[in-house]
Chain A
Amino acid sequence: MLAVGGAAFFWAVPFAWMALASFRPGAPADIASLTPAGPFGFGNFADAWHSGNFPLWYLNTVLVCGGILAVQVVTISAAGYAFARLSFPGRDLLFIMFLLQLLLIPALLIVPNLATLVSLHLYDRLLGIMAPYFASAFGTFLMRQTFRAIPRDYEEAAMLDGASIPRLIWHVLVPLARPGLTAFAIVSVTAHWNEFLWPLMAASSPSTQVLTVGLASFASGSEAGSAWGVVAAGTFLVAAPLLLLFLFFQRRFVSSFVFSGIK
């Protein structure tokens, strides 16, 4: 038990170093030390903020994550309802076809996907980074399960009142499915906030860089200058929003991850 506890502490060493080094301005000789004497300050954060374009990277990342999620909520609610409640020929086969998306991630299909982006005039645009994720097999799966767990009484009442299917989904079922949607939102935002390879491939100019792509170019520059405290501060800036959210909403995050499994 003690060994496992010790190992778990050991696991946090990279974070401990990040937190310590980012608050040690200048270039202290013992930058590797986990028990430094100081002095401490915010100098590295100021340097990182000025040498990288963090405001733009944050904005792009928020736009990408938010844009993907906004469209996904619509596509997965609609498709989730179809799979949960309607019966139509080929439904099960189609569902398996949906699940293929879990394996065929956009970065793996870089050759055809880049050609598609170019022909749709979406290359090097935030919309191009988002587009492959507008449909979500995992989200559809999750909404199907969520809708199935909702008693039919609600729908039948709405249908008797003459509600159309879109109205029924949007005004009756989606509000009831909030817990499922929250879980999906956590998983979706975490995945896209942290994604690197696809945004790197799908865009090329500095104006379309997201946080991860920005961090990679920023870090390689600072590493070349051995400014390790600045690298730590920049990494901190990139990771902080999700880490903070996680510490505040740990329960929700963990339950979402556990019943998501697939990103």
Chain B
Amino acid sequence: MLHLDPAQRRLVIELSHLDHPVVMESRYQRDVTTSLLVERQGPPPGAAASTAGIRPSRRSRWLPALALLAPSMIFLVAFTYWPVVRVIGESLLVGRFAGQGVVGLGNYQRLFADPHFARAALNNALYAAGTIVPSLGLALVFALGLQASNRANAILRTLMVLPLLIPLVAAAALFSFILLPGEGLLDFYLAKFGIGMINWLGDPDLALGSVIAITVWKNTGYYMLFFLAGLAGVSQDLLDAATIDGAGALRRFRSITLPMLGPTFGFVLPIALLNALTQVDHVVTMTQGGPSDATNLLLYYIYQQAAQNYDTGLAASATVVSVAVLLALSFFSFRTLERSIHYES
């Protein structure tokens, strides 16, 4: 795994197209980088215990630990753990009339009977697939294409990373114009090819695709950074040996590069999954879930029920379902991650 350290440094140096030589990171910086990457891709089981070092009696360590963790725990309890308990409670509380609540599954019955929720869940699945597959695929293609270190590539990589720096609502503002029917940038240039006005965000058949395109534009550069780091860790000796043995570029990619990127995929996938559930800012500002629910996503549905319809029961039960799906998928992709480590080692 140590090979990822030079990878990191190379990436860092390449991306900064500075004229003067780049000052190396301090020793600690490199240590942190290395240990993080190793940790990310699965810590060795005994590592924590073996490095824990000085440990007098257990009792004497309890109090300091408690005191040091308390500041964090207060906020984690208030805004992470307690909300989960509370939202489960809210979701099970039905018919709160005159201060009287009855415990039951009524909210879930209403939720699963709500066609808007079904549509939001379906849309979200399409949104997840539609954003993750192209953005990871493109990120890999861009990483492969812009991997070699030269001035032009450094500039192109910078261009790819820029969308990561701006808020999704800023991207939404730009794309509101780009996708504007008729006068917008896209239609302006499509007209030169004789293609007429297209209502990118107003057509129920195109709206979700347009929202997906914005997300892909926003995230691809981010994922590309991880693939660049991963590619720099692919053994050049192995690739050279394969070339000598007569393996073509495609064969080298399929048999060497791709398998060695396993951990990178395993690491990026959970991030991409989380993004697919939580990145709905552009839906809020551009489409409000429309037209006719075509771009309604789970988090937007929750937001609608909570902040617009004031239907706490429906919002709470939708939250519980979304969180459950998120935890299950994260667990699943974590398992995939573990397996990809075994593959490499």
Contact = CB atoms under 8 A, between A and B. Distances in A.
Interface in B300-340: 302-303, 306-307, 312, 315-316, 319, 322-323, 326-327, 330
17 contacts: A7-B142, A9-B159, A11-B221, A81-B68, A82-B65, A97-B76, A97-B81, A103-B330, A109-B84, A135-B72, A135-B79, A179-B29, A194-B165, A201-B303, A246-B161, A246-B165, A251-B13
B265 interface: no
Contacts of B330: 103
A232 B74 CA distance: 42
Nearest to B305: A111
A106 to B, nearest CB: 6
B214 to A, nearest CB: 9
B169 interface: yes
Contacts of A250: 15-17, 158
Contacts of B306: 110-111, 114
B274 to A, nearest CB: 7
Main secondary structure of the interface of B (DSSP, over half): helix
A216 interface: yes
B152 A5 contact: yes
Interface in B15-66: 15-18, 22, 25-26, 28-29, 31-33, 35-37, 39-40, 48, 51-55, 58, 61-62, 64-66
Interface stretch (B98-106, B113-121, B180-188): B180-188
Nearest to B273: A103
Residue among B35, B152, B159 having the largest count of chain A Cβ atoms under 10 Å: B159
B64 A86 contact: yes
Interface of B: 8, 11-13, 15-18, 22, 25-26, 28-29, 31-33, 35-37, 39-40, 48, 51-55, 58, 61-62, 64-66, 68-69, 71-76, 78-84, 86-87, 90, 141-142, 144-146, 152-153, 156-178, 180, 183-185, 187-189, 217, 220-222, 225-226, 229, 267, 271, 274, 277-278, 280-281, 284-285, 299, 302-303, 306-307, 312, 315-316, 319, 322-323, 326-327, 330
B86 A78 contact: no
In the A-B complex, the 3 residue pairs with the closest CB atoms? A4-B145, A32-B188, A149-B31
B141 A4 contact: yes
A188 interface: no
A153 B217 CA distance: 48
